[in-house]
A = this chain, B = another copy of it.
């Protein structure tokens, strides 16, 4: 690979001059600039970002640690993060925690070793001493979707309280009383909050949420399967299962189908997170939609604000209920759920 020296030699100038034209420093003669550009072109020269970053102490790179790449929610989040970052002149490196704290920390460390300018993380289960240290050390950082109490960094997330209230009201109106939830890990904020919001909303309707109706999941499909199996083995199974994310809803569907049961006739299903496939399941799944794109963009803006020395802003956006047929219909059998075309983005 051609280095800046080669370019300098070919252009007949010093490396300092080459560097100046590369960084569009004003004081370069038109002639020198021309010769340098020609040499760059001729040699197919590309600056070595490692060397540049080592010298300038900035990488113009953001790290993003997501909880699970197989989860369409995080994948959509990653996409919007990357777009916004690029628009602001940064690139992003993604790490997949796979819902495992050790793997999360592994990626955080790797990212830090690469000297990223800032870190976006959606913390996996449990507390991470490492993340505390990182924040304390002053590394620019923001939490997205999930956050860790006691770590003083901006948080960008969706608030599902209202949507969960709407969901419970919807279920209540349909006549359902035995509502169960498949929760995420208690140590994650989204795991915890969704259960508590669900419990509070039920309580507002005079309904209790017995322990047997709280399935312990980990946001991955297999756990949704297991929790649903347990619900179905109960003497009095729930009428509705609310999965705290889309993958656990997938697992729930697997279990329901394996038992030869029908949704919503035998048991109803609702999910947190809305994904394009929910329109096409049999029946379509009632879900709570997050403004995923907005979250990703706001998170990047907050992080870049910190990196560039501006005051960052925590952002909380509302989630919203999307009623479909998976918990039963208010009025008999519908001829055909005529939902229009749906964007994939």
- Min distance, Cβ A324 to any Cβ of chain B, angstroms: 12
Partner of A50, one of B54, B76, B280: B54
The verdict on A149 contacting chain B, using a C-beta distance below 8 Å, is: no
The verdict on A49 contacting chain B, using a C-beta distance below 8 Å, is: yes
The answer on a CB contact under 8 Å between A133 and B44 is yes
The answer on a CB contact under 8 Å between B82 and A78 is no
The answer on a CB contact under 8 Å between B281 and A277 is yes
- Cα distance A110–B85 when bound, in Å? 14
- The quantity of this chain's copies bound in the complex is 2
The answer on a CB contact under 8 Å between B70 and A76 is yes
A63-101 interface with B by 8 A CB criterion: 69-70, 72, 75-76, 78-79, 82, 91, 93-94, 96, 98
The verdict on A109 contacting chain B, using a C-beta distance below 8 Å, is: yes
- Min distance, Cβ A217 to any Cβ of chain B, angstroms: 13
The answer on a CB contact under 8 Å between A258 and B344 is no
The answer on a CB contact under 8 Å between B250 and A277 is yes
Question: With A280-B282, A281-B282, A282-B281 known to touch, is A79 a contact of B69 (CB < 8 Å)?
Answer: yes
Q: Which residue of B lies closest to A114 (CB)?
A: B49
The answer on a CB contact under 8 Å between A276 and B260 is no
- Min distance, Cβ A236 to any Cβ of chain B, angstroms: 24
The answer on a CB contact under 8 Å between A51 and B54 is yes
A299-344 interface with B by 8 A CB criterion: 336-344
Q: Which residue of B lies closest to A91 (CB)?
A: B110
The answer on a CB contact under 8 Å between B260 and A338 is yes
A33-70 interface with B by 8 A CB criterion: 44, 46-51, 53-54, 59, 69-70
- Cα distance A76–B221 when bound, in Å? 14
Residues of A within 8 A of B (CB): 44, 46-51, 53-54, 59, 69-70, 72, 75-76, 78-79, 82, 91, 93-94, 96, 98, 109-110, 112-115, 133, 220-222, 225, 247, 250-251, 253-255, 257-258, 260, 276-277, 279-283, 336-345
Given A50-B50, A253-B279, A260-B338, 17 further pairs, Cβ under 8 A:
A49-B114, A49-B115, A50-B53, A50-B115, A70-B72, A70-B75, A70-B76, A70-B345, A75-B75, A93-B93, A250-B344, A254-B280, A254-B342, A257-B279, A257-B280, A257-B339, A258-B341
